[in-house]
Amino acid sequence: MNRPDTAAAGPSPALREELRSLAVELALSAGALVRDGRQAALAGGGGIDTKSTPTDVVTVMDRASEEHLRERISRLRPQDAVLGEETGGQGSREGITWVVDPIDGTVNYLYGRSDYTVSVAAVVGDPLTAGAWHPVAGAVARPETGEVWHAHLGGGAAVQGPWGEKTLTVNTVTDVGLSLLATGFAYDAGMRREQAQALVTLLPAVRDIRRGGSAALDLCAVAAGEVDAYAERGVHIWDIAAGQLIAAEAGAHIATWHSGPERPQGLLAASPGIAVQLGSLLATAYGSGEPTPA
Ligand code: IPD
CA of 13 to the centre of ligand 1 (A): 31
Ligand 1 pocket mutation, candidates 56, 87, 104, criterion most atoms within 8 A of CB:
104
What is the band of 4 on the pLDDT scale with cuts at 50, 70, 90? Answer: very low
**pLDDT reading at 121 higher than 80:** yes
pLDDT, residue 66, reads 95
pLDDT, residue 6, reads 47
Provide mean pLDDT across the span 130-143.
Answer: 94
For strands 180-182 and 208-210, give the pairing. parallel
CB-defined site of ligand 1, < 6 Å = 85, 101, 104-106, 184-186, 213-215, 232, 235, 239
23 membership: H or E segment, kind and range: helix 13-41
Interatomic CA distance for residues 110 and 9, integer angstroms = 40
Interatomic CA distance for residues 67 and 84, integer angstroms = 9
> Which tops the pLDDT comparison, 89 or 260?
89
pLDDT, residue 253, reads 98
CA of 185 to the centre of ligand 1 (A): 7
39-76 residue pLDDT tens:
888 887 777 887 777 877 788 999 999 999 999 999 99
Q: Residue 186 half-sphere exposure, CB side, CA atoms within 13 Å?
A: 20
Residue 291 DSSP one-character state: P
- Percent of the chain at pLDDT exceeding 90: 76
> 108 CB contacts (<8 Å, ≥6 apart)?
114, 115, 116, 213, 214
147-182 residue pLDDT tens:
999 999 999 999 999 999 999 999 999 999 999 999
195-210 residue pLDDT tens:
999 999 999 999 999 9
What is the band of 243 on the pLDDT scale with cuts at 50, 70, 90? Answer: very high
